[in-house]
Amino acid sequence: MAKALWAAIEGDPQSMQKLHGWATILWFIAAFPIMWFWSDSVPLVVFLSVYAIVTGHWSSYQASRVEVKQDQEGEA
């Protein structure tokens, strides 16, 4: 079921844009408290991990945004 859902979302740029946009926000909200309170011994490593996750999703969101714009221009 998960594979079928992913295949349906993967083919639609607007769905991918929404997925990565929300994933960016959720990862930041979930990871920031962990980074702030739990990582006394390794704050730099935690920060870099959070940064990598957030920027990865953000770049995927931006790529999906471009695809959505291209699809809209193609339809016009």
Q: What is the pLDDT of residues 5-19, one digit of tens each?
A: 777 777 777 777 788
Q: What is the pLDDT of residue 38?
A: 66
Q: How far apart are CA 16 and CA 8, in angstroms?
A: 10
The chain-wide mean pLDDT, for the chain, equals 78
Which range has highest mean pLDDT (15-24, 30-39, 53-62)? 53-62
Query: What whole-number distance in Å separates Cα of residue 68 and Cα of residue 61?
Result: 10
Asked if residues 22 and 9 have their Cβ atoms less than 8 Å apart, the reply is no
Q: Is residue 61 scored above 70 in pLDDT?
A: yes
pLDDT of residue 76: 73
Give the per-residue pLDDT at 3: 75
